[in-house]
């Protein structure tokens, strides 16, 4: 979703909460692009206080905008809800979820 808009404008819209996603190391700027740090061990959640601030910022980032996905236009909330409705507590390992999510994001059925 960040790539579909002007990145600076989008990031400004979703980070009005004192830059929580940047301060925690979850979102990083690389030149003209922004990306999510996928290795949670690199996140600095203690730097921003309570985790609810991070949760709130992530929810805002996910729900904020529509994105083209597999030929459809969906909100981040719809995208996440559809996946979670199908796969919540159905897989046994982190690796299975990682493979499932990667397949789902690439327009697959989400089955590893």
Which tens digit of pLDDT belongs to each residue from 44-87? Answer: 877 666 666 677 777 777 766 677 788 888 888 888 888 899 99
This model's pTM is above 0.85 = no
Helix (H) or strand (E) holding 28: strand 27-30
Looking at per-residue confidence, does 8 or 90 come out higher? 90
The predicted model gives 87-102 an average pLDDT of 89
Instruction: Give the ranges where 1-112 is alpha helix by DSSP (H).
Output: 7-14, 20-23, 51-63, 76-87, 94-105
Q: What is the overall mean pLDDT for the chain?
A: 76
Express as a percent the part of the chain with pLDDT over 70.
Answer: 73
Contact 110, 87 (CB under 8 A): yes
């Amino acid at each position: 979703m960040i790539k579909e808009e002007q990145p600076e404008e989008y990031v400004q819209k979703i980070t009005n909460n004192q830059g929580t996603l940047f301060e925690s190391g979850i979102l990083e700027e690389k030149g003209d692009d922004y990306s999510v740090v996928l290795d949670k061990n690199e996140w600095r959640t203690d730097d921003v206080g309570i985790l609810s601030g991070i949760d709130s910022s992530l929810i805002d980032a996910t729900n904020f905008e529509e994105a083209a996905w597999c030929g459809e236009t969906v909100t981040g909330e719809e995208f996440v809800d559809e996946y979670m409705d199908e796969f919540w507590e159905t897989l046994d390992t982190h690796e299975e979820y990682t493979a499932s999510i990667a397949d789902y994001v690439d327009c697959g059925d989400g089955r590893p």
